[in-house]
Amino acid sequence: MTMTTGDLRVIDCDTHLTPTEDFWTKRAPAAYKDRVPRVEEVDGEPTWVVDQGASLGPARAGSVIDREGEKFPFQESMAVWGLEQSHQGAYDTEVRLKVMDESGIYAQVLFPNSIGLGGQDLERAIDDPVLRRLCVQIYNDAMAELQDSSGGRFLPMPVLPAWDVKESVEEAQRCASLGLRGVNMTSDPQDLGSPDLANRAWDPLWEACADLQLPVHFHIGSSITAMNFFGNYFWPSQDEYVKPAIGGSMLFINNARVVINTIFAGIFDRYPNLKMVSVESGCGWIPFILETMDYELWENAPKQAGELSKMPSEYFKSNWYATFWFERSQGDLQGLVSKVGEDNILFETDFPHPTCLYPKPLDTVAEKLSTITPQARRKILGENAAKLYRL
């Protein structure tokens, strides 16, 4: 079954772009060219290194799709491939635009690969605060240039220097001035030496993002804590091919802790216009989590529950979005959409990561989306994102 979208601009709200080896060095001031992230051989393996050789991790393609367009399991592709083996759309934006045209997709939201899904790896590897900030600014400047040069077809999410609240606020304001349409935040800044996100110290960031209409994105695996969870979800004796399937599935649900923590912290009573996005997490777990929030908070913390202006579950529809791509919801997708909220769901393909909808994403979801109302289908495929990102 092929789905036609007519005049609807389909917006893909979770994809990944791998930087080329000269991404930072060609943009850095001369005094920093040998300190910013670059690729060097470490123990015979191409590796992203920074400053005096601290490792950011292997220099891989971040793709499960090869040069010829064939899709492979994680262990045979994303875990080992360099750029030369992967689909050029993983890192070449001109090729990526062709893939989008072939797929019927108007715009893509972009998230990073080599610096951590929430940008958290820059702090882990860099001690010098000036260098850390420079690396963040280079990345975000390049993303703003990419958005402009694509005519808004690429919507990259800039990363924040989450090791410092004041710097995060300043960088969010700077990114807004560059025209970027949101921010990408680590879920656990306490890993980086900052207060956790329930701490009122972060209120200046929430205020700035609410005022500047910058939705705050939490991608799965967007912190050191989250990726430590990933490595412990599966039992050690599981097959190596099975481990990423277990880890990936559990990372989806791990984003429930971000939703619960933000709501219970009262952030949205203080900043009712603030929007947040749970990225690459799916939607099926959301109705149950909303029920548990209402039950558990009143059971265990009735005083704190009474201090919120509404039931915990109600904040999801007023302040949160989640992304959808492969779910069928046991044959009742319309029921799931109604419970989560047709205004709160965004479409994604996760190109070119594991579980991505490739090569024909709209055909892949056509049958399941035919079971929901035309209005909900249009909202999920593009209208919600167009509103959120002010397109």
317 is in which domain, residue-wise?
A: 11-388
Asked whether residue 277 is domain-assigned, the answer is yes
pLDDT band at 4 (very low <50, low <70, confident <90, very high): low
pLDDT tens-digit readout, 124-156: 899 999 999 999 999 999 999 999 999 999 999
The answer to whether residue 54 sits within a structural domain is: yes
- What would the mean pLDDT of 203-225 be, rounded to a whole number? 97
Nearest partner of 245 among 263, 233, 228, judged by Cα: 233
Note whether residue 236 is domain-resident.
yes
d(CA 313, CA 31): 51
Number of structural domains in the chain:
1
- Residue 235 clears pLDDT 50, i.e. is over it: yes
CA-to-CA distance for 181 and 389, rounded, in angstroms?
A: 6
Residues 83-132 have pLDDT tens digits of 999 999 999 999 999 999 999 999 999 999 889 999 999 888 999 999 99
What is the per-residue pLDDT across 256-278, written as a single tens digit (0 to 9) for each? 999 999 999 999 999 999 999 99
5 within a domain of the structure (yes/no): no
3-class DSSP state for residue 77?
A: coil
Distance from C-alpha of 80 to C-alpha of 59, rounded to nearest angstrom: 9
CA atoms within 13 A on the CB side of 325: 22
> Does 1 score more than 70 pLDDT?
no
Within-domain flag for 178: yes
In a domain? residue 1: no
The CATH number of the domain where 272 resides is what? Answer: 3.20.20.140
Q: What is the DSSP letter of 192?
A: G
Report the Cα 334 to chain-centroid distance in Å. 25
Asked if the structure places residue 6 within a domain, the reply is no
Residue with the bigger pLDDT between 346 and 329: it is 346
The reported pTM is 0.96
